[in-house]
Amino acid sequence: MNIQNILLGHGSGGKMSHELISELFLHYFDNQILQNQTDSAILTVNNNKLAFTTDSFVVDPLFFPGGNIGKLAVAGTVNDLAVSGAIPMYLSAGFIIEEGFPFQQLKEIVKTMGEEAASAGVKIVTGDTKVVNKGKCDKLFINTSGVGVLPDKFAGISLGENISAGDKILINGEIGAHGMTIMAARNDLKINAPIASDCACLNMLIKEILDAGIQVKFMRDATRGGVATVLAEMVKGKKFGLQIYEKNLVVEDGVRGMCELLGFDSLYVANEGKVIMVVPQNQAEKALKILQNHPLGKKGTIIGEITTENPGKAWLNTVIGGKRIIDMLSGMQLPRIC
């Protein structure tokens, strides 16, 4: 790998991140669990399966319509566990705080974390606080790691090994709200858009789907890199492809306006409360109903399906009748959105 310096794109969740992960971390931390590159690591401890995951949050600004860094830190890790089929149980919280940070803001963030954890049914059981000199970090960074119990019957979800042609692809609602909200909230842009982050813990929604007996074959939350990156990753190197329909993607007017104004493609914009699910064709309508009956899935849609054609490729059927390939985000679309 011929990298001289780390660039913003290496943290984007797109192609450059993948390159860094593959050639650096997978090389030196070589083990099968990590090689699987699932949202959560799947551990076997005393014959029980556990899911284990970590995320650092550096979002700027710390407070935004729909949430704050604390809500994001809880929801992000809860969702990484939940999309693995696990029941999220325990979180850690590591704070890196800039000297001089207002205590009231920290209190509000910590309070939000407590509330969000309680409503998701998880406990924050261990933590760490580091304070660095003024100017040595930007206000506040939070790391959360999480542990969940993974029922044996759901152990295959995160690898997606059972995906087959004809399976339907669902999402629980509108896309792009988180990323565009963060953009709008940045002081230097002075945009006052009527949009809010979709940041939310999805574990209860996912539990309803699984409890209903839907044979979920794959799930992933569409965060950094957006829906496009999840779709591109899902088919990469596989014997199947997929196609989705632009008309089935819900984009709120405010988000669409922001995207047009700033030249973003909503398919690549981060969400923090959206899960993409692959389910058998004959269960798709049932799954959709469950989504739509849940407050976090009201605008859920079936966005497309797995295909035998174009193996390894994800295609978008546009509203004007065109077709284009969905590739992974290359480099950085938007820094520090989570």
Hey, which residues between 104 and 123 contact its own copies (CB under 8 A)? Answer: 106-107, 110-111, 113-114, 117, 123
Binding piece for its own copies, criterion CB under 8 A, among 97-105, 171-179, 187-195, 214-222: 97-105
Pairing of strands 241-245, 301-307: antiparallel
Among 46, 188, 190, 213, binds its own copies (CB under 8 A): 46
Q: CA 289, CA 2: separation in Å to the nearest integer?
A: 49
Dihedral, 73, 40, 42, 229 alpha carbons, nearest 10: 170
Q: How far is the CB of 15 from its own copies (least distance, A)?
A: 13
Indicate whether 187 belongs to the interface with its own copies (CB under 8 A).
Answer: no
* Helix 203-211 × helix 69-82 angle, to 10°: 20
Indicate whether 132 belongs to the interface with its own copies (CB under 8 A).
Answer: yes
Q: How far is the CB of 104 from its own copies (least distance, A)?
A: 8
Q: By the 8 A CB rule, do 197 and 176 touch?
A: no
Fill in the per-residue mask, 217 to 246: x = in contact with its own copies (CB under 8 A), - = not in contact: ------------------------------
Q: How far is the CB of 48 from its own copies (least distance, A)?
A: 5
Indicate whether 203 belongs to the interface with its own copies (CB under 8 A).
Answer: no
For residue 64, what are the β-bridge partners?
67
Q: How far is the CB of 3 from its own copies (least distance, A)?
A: 4
Q: Which of residues 48-67 bind its own copies (CB under 8 A)?
A: 48, 50, 52-58, 60
Sign of CA dihedral 21, 181, 77, 81: negative
Q: How far is the CB of 146 from its own copies (least distance, A)?
A: 9
Q: CA 180, CA 202: separation in Å to the nearest integer?
A: 20
CA 169 to chain centroid: 16
